[in-house]
A = this chain, B = another copy of it.
Amino acid sequence: MIDREGPTPLYVQVADAIQARIDAGELLPNRPIPSENQLVQEYAVARGTARKAIQLLRDRGLVATVVGRGTYVATTANG
């Protein structure tokens, strides 16, 4: 799932993986995506990598983060 030796940065791969789960309807609008700690475990990456992946998804407009609550699939993403 994650190619550690390939040219694509890990955080991009993680972001793409999450986006695939959103596109597949596994992660629904206004529902939380896995927490940073969960992403760390699921993809076996460092916390900073998970955060950069979420940041990338934010920049893509696919998710929105609420401090103290979590990161959620944007309403506009597969609304």
Interface residues of A (CB under 8 A from B): 3, 5-9, 30-32, 64, 66, 68-70, 72
Contact = CB atoms under 8 A, between A and B. Distances in A.
Contacts of A5: 30-32
A61 to B, nearest CB: 15
A72 B31 contact: no
A8 B75 CA distance: 13
A66 to B, nearest CB: 5
A78 B66 CA distance: 32
Which 10 pairs, one residue from A and one from B, show the smallest C-beta to C-beta distance? Answer: A7-B72, A7-B66, A6-B30, A5-B31, A9-B69, A7-B30, A7-B64, A7-B69, A5-B32, A9-B66
A9 B64 contact: no
